[in-house]
Structure 1
Amino acid sequence: MSDHDASPLMRQYREIKRGYPQAILFFRVGDFYEMFYQDAQEASRLLSIALTSRDKNSPEPVPLCGVPYHAATGYIAKLLKAGRTVALCEQVEDPKLAKGLVRREVVRLYTPGTLVETEFLSPVESNFLAAVSVGTTAKHQPVIGLAMLEVSTGEFVVTEFQGDQASSQVLDELAGLEPREILFSPLPDRENQSWLDQIRNARLCERSAASFDQQRAARLLQDQFHVHSLDAFGCQGLTAGIGAAGAVLDYFRETQPTAPLDHIRRPRVRRTTDAMHLDSVTIRNLELLKPMGALEEGPGAKPATLLSVLDRTVTAMGSRLLRQWLVRPLIHCDAIRARLDAVGELKDCMQARVALRSALRDVQDISRLSGRIVLGVAGPREILALKQSLATFPEIAAQLQSLSSPLLVEARSSWDDGRDLYELIEQAIQADAPLSVREGGVIREGYHAEVDELRKAAKEGKHWIAALEAKERERTGIESLKVRYNQVFGYYIEITKANLARVPADFIRKQTLVNAERFMTPELKGLEERVTGAEVKLLALEQDLFAQLRIRLAEQANRLQEMAGKLSLIDVLAGLAETAALNQYTKPVIDESGAIDLRGGRHPVVERLSEDMAFVPNDTQLNLESHRLLILTGPNMAGKSTYLRQVALIVLLAQIGSFVPAAEARIGIVDRIFTRVGASDNLASGHSTFMVEMVETATILHSATVRSLILLDEIGRGTSTYDGLSIAWAVAEYIHDRRHLGARTLFATHYHEMTQLEQQREGIRNYRVDVREVDGDVVFLRKIVAGGADRSYGIHVARLAGLPESVIGRARDVLAQLEQPEATTIQQTKPAQHTTPPLPQPHAIVEEVRQIDLFSMTPLDALNRLAELQRKVSPTAKQPGS
């Protein structure tokens, strides 16, 4: 059907739809949002609602489906979850006043990264919209700008990465922030954006290159924040970062054309030197936010993550802040110590801590509330939630008064009790106000004289209506006579068919029903005009006054956001203090030394999961000298991986400013934590387990510094034994060597041959997980002791895993034969009718050659070593100089 053939309504629909081809258009028609054509077909399928058609008698009926306007939020949520976007098209003029077709406009584009509705958002997770801008520096180095806007709170962050590692650093940043939507501008060189293929769980939105233009972006930002230069924000030298920030702002304006942008805070520039950079592999391997394996068991159980153990915040704002701390630990001693001092004081001052946490429980999500107030979408109940929060401010300030740690003193020194805002809401809004201002009954009595008068008129009018009903019953003798109301006819008198003979002559018939008829009288008409006129005026006045109140509160959004930040900080610090008190954590010593010295360290998550059995604590001694690289051996299932992770988690906890699960802890600042723990195939990229292992190991070797902490677990196990041992050996030497890294490293391995490194390299130490054999069974003691393991106990582990006894018995026989030096084949079992293929034994000389470090030997040393090997093979061989 052409536009010329369509009705005016459908021509209007098509014109609006052209501007939003990728979105499902919710087109307001009366009390419904209607969808047409392909939108209707897709929405009916995704929403499980009936698909019908418009103009059914037409040769080409238009597919149609619709949802009630008051229930639209739930349907929009379903479409967003299905990965779609929704354009909300409203009637922007009163149908009663419209001349011809009602004017309609798209007032909102719902996308995953631009949501402000509480129904769509997780209270404890941020909802970032991100933009990524790719370019090159003046020296032709890659540069990637990243901007992130949390639309619901107005938080705005800009950062930039340069050099060959820029793309991996952006991926790591995105892994920690978990944005819901990412804007990007494709480049002709696909290599520069291959990282896009690795993005998961976010909507990728391609934008034009003009959206990322730096000069255009700078003008947008200057206009938005009313400044002549962006240098005041610390943006000097940023190019791609400014382009990304402009793209975010441009997209927000486009998706919410009617929304004010006043709640967006000035961009905060985040430098790579501000905090520890955790890569996505480490965030995953340490299970900071999400578990790697199975999720929680049973309804209501929490996943086994560091966040779940640590999070004792009582506000949504505090929980979101704690998540940010976990993925961005601090790297400056003074800032860490300030947090630790505050946590320590709150831990020791139980009375203040309990009082603070009790008051904070009544604090609502002020950060998001203020955003919704500025955007003009906050309802009466949300304004009351703000009032409830403001009521707690004096008590929180009083408790802070008794505390002396600098971070808490700073929070108290610029405290804003918001008393004026509390009183404004108290005077204006009814304590039992409804959810929506459209329901009326929002404005408190005494706040506005005209509201009081109209409310009195409406209330008295209802009494007049009730009195009229009683009078007409008496006059007609019809006991079932009722005065009723609906939006179509207004007030009317309803009389059943059985009583129609008694209807007076002055009753005017309005409508005939199956069992009754409806009438009007001049007196009722007069009352209706007085009553409904007052009600309509009252509702309109209340809506107007509420909008004015919201504007007054919006003008104070900066104050509210400032206090939201303080309350979030107090909540996190008090929550960490509570965790420290309940879980018996201790205050770590933080310094610039290279030491990581832990006494009685525990894994913060595992110890909570195994409360029915005592967790075995362990010591750790790492430094940049004598204990630079610790080689940890021991059987599988003995606890090596748990030990590695617990050391990393203790360091991370200390550097976010938390107390740690240890009897004593001294932490020399770590600039980065790297983990190569566990392995799995990456089917999406076509990489095998071994390739994933090697890629992650290569990243560590290229990115770590002497100040890093490296955890390596079973390097080389994804390939043959000799190849794996060779790679593991070479990696250990590279990390240990100060000319390359010299970083503090825990290296767990099942290659017992690597324990020889302790004698060959200063700074390498052997440790093992202690085991005991009792009556042929192995008992894992979970204790880390000095020395290397001489056995893997693999058969014992296999037995614990439940392999059949016949398999276990045969494995023991094969092992016994392999352990005989002269064995070259395995004897077959009886009565088997086949032979086992020969299993060659590694020759001692071959193994010795493999382990020679040729690159650290002089030519003379090499000749002498070769002669020594020759003598071992042939004792009568001629020696040098003979």
Structure 2
Amino acid sequence: MSSLQPIHALNLDSVQQQAFVNFFNSLPDKPPTTVRVFDRNDYYSIHGIDATTAAREVFSSVANIKRMGVEPNRLDYLVLSKGNFEILIKKLLLVRRYRVEIYVADGSIKGCDWSLKYKGSPGYLTQLEEVLGEGLGGSDENTPCLMAVNIKTDPVSKGKLLGVACVVAADYQMSVSEFTDDDLLTQLETITVQTAPSECLIPFSDNDDYKALKKVMDRTNVTVTKLKRVDFSTEGLVQDLNRLLNFKEDQQQDANAFPETRKDLAMTSLAATIKYSALLNESTNFGRFRLSTIRTDCFLHLDAAALTALNILPELGDNSNSPSRSLFGLLDRCRTQHGKRLLAQWLRQPLRDINLINERLDVVELLMNNSQLRLQLHEDHLRRIPDLQALTRRLARKKANLHDCYKIYQAIKRLPSLLQCLTEAENTTVHSSLTEPISELNDDLDKFQQMIEATLDMGAVERGDFLVKPSFDEQLQSLNEQLERLQSSAERELGKAARDLGLDAGKTIKLENNTQNGFCFRITLKEERNLRGDKKYKIIDAVKSGVRFRTNTLESINEEYTQAKTDYEKEQDKVVKEIVSIAGGYSECLFCLSHILSRLDVLVSFAVAASSAPYPYCRPVVTESIDELILKDVRHPCLEVQEGVSYIPNDVEFKRGSVMLHIVTGANMGGKSTWMRSVGASAVLAQAGCPVPAAAARLPRLAALCARIGAADCERRGLSTFMTEMIECAAILKTATPNSLVLIDELGRGTSTYEGCGIAWAIAEQLANECKCFCLFATHYHELTRLASIHPNVIVNSHAAASVVDGQLVLLHKILPGPAARSLGLHVARLADLPDSIIEYAEAKQAELETNLYEVEAAMESNETAEGQKLIKEFLKKCKEIQASASSDDKMMQEIKLLKQELLTCDNKYVQTLIL
């Protein structure tokens, strides 16, 4: 009997359990990165291995997992409330970058009639937005972007030809690119960093090209989804684009008119994104999308290694937004959600156009110098602007309601005072880039404002209700009059009941109207005795707050009122639908307004962050010339805001023809890596249009910033520290040019000392002599300091200063010219509290190894030299004999040449050094 008792969590008896287990086991196989969820109306269930995944994500424990079914087909399951379900979906899609499938019951039989109703992936959230509403992705700093990549061999160059497409459905943007890439796909990595896709679609393939592509996506934390080759077919694509694209009035209504459609391989990728994201299933997408070409040359090249090394963005899943953890966290003083998303985009896409950089810097400098303007914008105007981008998308998709329209109305109503604030700045850059376009949009949106004022009941808004004015529509007016008449009738009935019961109307007896009971009277429990035995009154309920009851007349009024209210709501829904449809016509203007206000928000955020820093930021001078890079008293912007840190600034100077590459030596923890990161961060900030943490800054317009800093295994990709270093260095050597900045820290670990030193030496020389880029090269291989004498006017030595006082290491965190005097590793070990016995033994072993190494090298050098000198003597003796016996000079030279070749066959470095 107990086996038939339902499980409370799932409310299934044993027969229903087994039916579901059978159905679940019949589902097709899936990867572990796809999680299946079953909607059971009031709650959700997750089964099998997915239950473990979900339990760890939501509860950080598997204790809540239960089992269903009978042996041997028992199945783990987890039950989630709606709130926990939403938490799980956000974590899976936005942090883990997993895919989600939601099944809904089809029929009345519990257990086996299920169908896949909703699907979601990191790059495709549309269907799940219907399930979770605005909760999904609303606070994410990136708008979901879906990428697709197709690869084939270029028939001309025989290289790798890539076709790339990106779709940002929330912004109605499509962009494509087609290019030939190298074996490491460095150009693709640049595009991936700049566009920040959540998901990448590729065709099913196991060839080496797609394996290399998978590595790029792993490095950039992008989920890869494999599709059938047929999904990359362009059949019918032009007709699809004709429906989706937004053509200008004077433009030919044919997608073939766009130059992008002539990129055949890129079009196959675009076709895959359109099919995967089901854009044609939503009629509100028609006539809205823009098609453009991805332009990587407009932005500073940053690869995934540089993004990570410089801590530009927070780590995936890190929601702390701490100023000391990333540049984004430091600069994010944005007041709007669309401002936060634009800030992340600007940091991924630092500019290369000096005019655009200076335009941003002009506005930020004005805001830094004008504290009143800065505070007005930051503390008053921008903080009252809602997420216009998300609201406008709801309008465009006809999913908005009156509350959404009211939020937009409030934002538009603030524009005149915002414009007045900007106009008082009397700055030409502010006027042309902000005031003028906002003013034009304000004029265009004036009718939207008038429509909301004419249709929305502002009195009801003050009460928290968003209703249409009854006077706006004749039918609504008639129904409203009926509701008011019934309200008056109910109040008259209250008076009758009060007199009959001897109570005070509105005080000891009250009229209530709620969604559950409609009209009813309420008295306190103490007055309940007045009702006893009186059959005119029907008691509804008795609770702590009092007794609710009705008369027959009030019940009749209530029924009539309920019907009239239902009719009113139906009629209002028709009017609201019409209002939203009209409001949707303003979506283009609202998108533009959203972009301009987010731009203003980021510029104000730059100014606030720079003004509130512990030490002043300066406006950088960005030059067309690539002859010098100079930073005076540069600081690391994130480190200096940490509590208890007294930052020691440093200078850095590059000048073509004298200083191109710094070999940086010095003790661990001495400040080498921090110095390098501060230089890289300043370069990114400068080209993003933000002041930099330095006393003075003069930087060239860089094309690329490459960084190899930090050491860690990548177990998920099966790569060792050394292999990771080599991959990143290979990419740097392919990317670096004279207008690049390269930062390399501690290259050559994870292999033998001599191999590591040799690799570091070769790469440093290549960067200095062939790539001719500006480079900071930190190393513990002291041998590399000899490069400065081998390549004068190109390579110089710098070191992180440190002193030993009374046997204790004192790190000065100051970068000075010249190489470090000696290695201080043992002193650093003392700082780490390594036992004294270990330190003493290490010192003895170090002395022994250094002595042995010197003796071995000296012996080798002595033996090599002695043997070489002997060979040279014999060679000279034979030359003298040839000279004496040769019949002619030509004959003599031929024989000496043969003798020299014979000598060179001897494997003796002393001989080879003399003769070669």
TM-score range, shorter chain: 0.7 to 0.9
Greater alpha carbon shift after TM alignment, 226-235 vs 351-360 = 226-235
| Displacement of 1:815 | 3.6
* 2:887 alignment partner in structure 1: none
**Residues 469 and 345 of structure 1, relative CA distance in 2, 3 Å threshold:** closer
CA contact (8 A) 1:33 1:69 kept: yes
* 2:232 alignment partner in structure 1: 212
- Taking the aligned partners of 2:522 and 2:374, their CA distance within structure 1 comes to 64
Pick aligned residue for 2:352 from 331, 336, 348? 331
2:135 alignment partner AA:
E
* 1:680 alignment partner in structure 2: 712
Pick aligned residue for 1:152 from 144, 166, 170? 170
| Displacement of 1:552 | 1.3
Greater alpha carbon shift after TM alignment, 626-635 vs 479-488 = 479-488
CA contact (8 A) 2:618 2:692 kept: yes
CA contact (8 A) 1:641 1:677 kept: yes
Structure 1 residue 351 and structure 2 residue 372: aligned?
A: yes
* 2:586 alignment partner in structure 1: 556
Structure 1 segment 863-882 matched on structure 2, within 5 A: none
- Taking the aligned partners of 1:629 and 1:238, their CA distance within structure 2 comes to 41
Structure 1 segment 179-218 matched on structure 2, within 5 A: 179-187=197-205, 189=207, 191-196=209-214, 199=217, 202-218=222-238
| Displacement of 1:122 | 4.4
| Displacement of 1:814 | 3.5
- Give secondary structure in 2 for the equivalent of 1:646: helix
Pick aligned residue for 2:100 from 85, 95, 99? 85
**Residues 779 and 535 of structure 1, relative CA distance in 2, 3 Å threshold:** same
CA contact (8 A) 1:339 1:407 kept: no
- Give secondary structure in 1 for the equivalent of 2:803: strand
1:425 alignment partner AA:
I
CA contact (8 A) 2:704 2:735 kept: no
Structure 1 segment 261-410 matched on structure 2, within 5 A: 261=285, 264-290=288-314, 301-302=322-323, 304-357=325-378, 358-401=380-423, 402-406=425-429, 408-410=431-433
CA contact (8 A) 2:67 2:77 kept: yes
Structure 1 residue 225 and structure 2 residue 225: aligned?
A: no
1:413 alignment partner AA:
E
CA contact (8 A) 1:156 1:265 kept: yes
- Taking the aligned partners of 1:662 and 1:796, their CA distance within structure 2 comes to 31
RMSD in angstroms over aligned alpha carbons? 5.0
- Give secondary structure in 2 for the equivalent of 1:426: helix
- Taking the aligned partners of 1:430 and 1:555, their CA distance within structure 2 comes to 22
| Displacement of 1:536 | 0.6
User: What TM-score does the superposition give when structure 1 sets the normalisation length?
Assistant: 0.78
- Taking the aligned partners of 1:758 and 1:600, their CA distance within structure 2 comes to 24
Give the total of aligned pairs.
Answer: 807
Which whole-Å deviations, capped at 9, do the CAs of 1:121-164 have from their partners, x for residues lacking one? 24251232313131334535423333333333434443344222
Pick aligned residue for 2:640 from 607, 613, 635? 607
Structure 1 segment 573-652 matched on structure 2, within 5 A: 573-583=603-613, 584-594=616-626, 595-609=628-642, 612-652=644-684
Structure 1 residue 658 and structure 2 residue 690: aligned?
A: yes
Identity %: 26
- Taking the aligned partners of 1:747 and 1:63, their CA distance within structure 2 comes to 54
Which whole-Å deviations, capped at 9, do the CAs of 1:547-601 have from their partners, x for residues lacking one? 2211111111000011111111122222222333333111111112221111211
* 1:710 alignment partner in structure 2: 742
| Displacement of 1:221 | 1.7
Structure 1 residue 423 and structure 2 residue 450: aligned?
A: yes
**Residues 47 and 404 of structure 1, relative CA distance in 2, 3 Å threshold:** closer
* 1:114 alignment partner in structure 2: 125
* 1:135 alignment partner in structure 2: 151
| Displacement of 1:375 | 1.5
- Give secondary structure in 1 for the equivalent of 2:751: coil
- Give secondary structure in 2 for the equivalent of 1:260: helix
Which whole-Å deviations, capped at 9, do the CAs of 1:102-129 have from their partners, x for residues lacking one? xx99986554432454311242512323
Which whole-Å deviations, capped at 9, do the CAs of 1:718-758 have from their partners, x for residues lacking one? 22211111111111111111xx3121111111111111111
* 2:269 alignment partner in structure 1: 244
**Residues 403 and 186 of structure 1, relative CA distance in 2, 3 Å threshold:** farther
Query: Unaligned stretches of 5+ in structure 2?
Result: 1-14, 107-113, 248-252, 542-546, 866-896
- Taking the aligned partners of 1:52 and 1:498, their CA distance within structure 2 comes to 56
Which whole-Å deviations, capped at 9, do the CAs of 1:3-24 have from their partners, x for residues lacking one? xxx99xx9xxx9xx99999886
| Displacement of 1:681 | 1.4
- Taking the aligned partners of 1:675 and 1:25, their CA distance within structure 2 comes to 42
- Give secondary structure in 2 for the equivalent of 1:705: coil
| Displacement of 1:634 | 0.8
- Taking the aligned partners of 1:678 and 1:622, their CA distance within structure 2 comes to 23
Which whole-Å deviations, capped at 9, do the CAs of 1:756-781 have from their partners, x for residues lacking one? 11111131111111222322222222
- Give secondary structure in 2 for the equivalent of 1:85: strand
| Displacement of 1:464 | 2.4
Query: Unaligned stretches of 5+ in structure 1?
Result: 1-5, 55-59, 92-103, 512-516, 825-839, 850-859
Which whole-Å deviations, capped at 9, do the CAs of 1:158-200 have from their partners, x for residues lacking one? 3344222574433443345443333333236364344336645
CA contact (8 A) 1:153 1:368 kept: no
Pick aligned residue for 1:458 from 483, 504, 511? 483
Which whole-Å deviations, capped at 9, do the CAs of 1:809-836 have from their partners, x for residues lacking one? 3333334455557976xxxxxxxxxxxx
Which whole-Å deviations, capped at 9, do the CAs of 1:283-330 have from their partners, x for residues lacking one? 0111100269x979xx88555111112222222222211111111111
**Residues 770 and 428 of structure 1, relative CA distance in 2, 3 Å threshold:** same
**Residues 627 and 372 of structure 1, relative CA distance in 2, 3 Å threshold:** same
- Taking the aligned partners of 2:53 and 2:572, their CA distance within structure 1 comes to 36
Which whole-Å deviations, capped at 9, do the CAs of 1:13-42 have from their partners, x for residues lacking one? x9xx9999988687798xx68889999999
- Taking the aligned partners of 1:718 and 1:303, their CA distance within structure 2 comes to 30
Which structure dedicates a bigger proportion of its chain to helix? 2
- Taking the aligned partners of 1:195 and 1:536, their CA distance within structure 2 comes to 58
Greater alpha carbon shift after TM alignment, 377-386 vs 641-650 = 377-386
| Displacement of 1:391 | 2.0
Pick aligned residue for 1:164 from 182, 195, 203? 182
**Residues 34 and 386 of structure 1, relative CA distance in 2, 3 Å threshold:** same
**Residues 382 and 844 of structure 1, relative CA distance in 2, 3 Å threshold:** farther
- Give secondary structure in 2 for the equivalent of 1:391: helix
CA contact (8 A) 1:129 1:181 kept: yes
* 1:855 alignment partner in structure 2: none
| Displacement of 1:602 | 1.4
CA contact (8 A) 2:538 2:549 kept: yes
Structure 1 segment 454-603 matched on structure 2, within 5 A: 454-468=479-493, 471=496, 502-503=534-535, 523=553, 526-583=556-613, 584-594=616-626, 595-603=628-636
* 1:775 alignment partner in structure 2: 806
- Taking the aligned partners of 1:66 and 1:424, their CA distance within structure 2 comes to 47
**Residues 239 and 521 of structure 1, relative CA distance in 2, 3 Å threshold:** same
- Taking the aligned partners of 1:267 and 1:568, their CA distance within structure 2 comes to 22
- Taking the aligned partners of 1:232 and 1:597, their CA distance within structure 2 comes to 48
- Give secondary structure in 1 for the equivalent of 2:802: strand
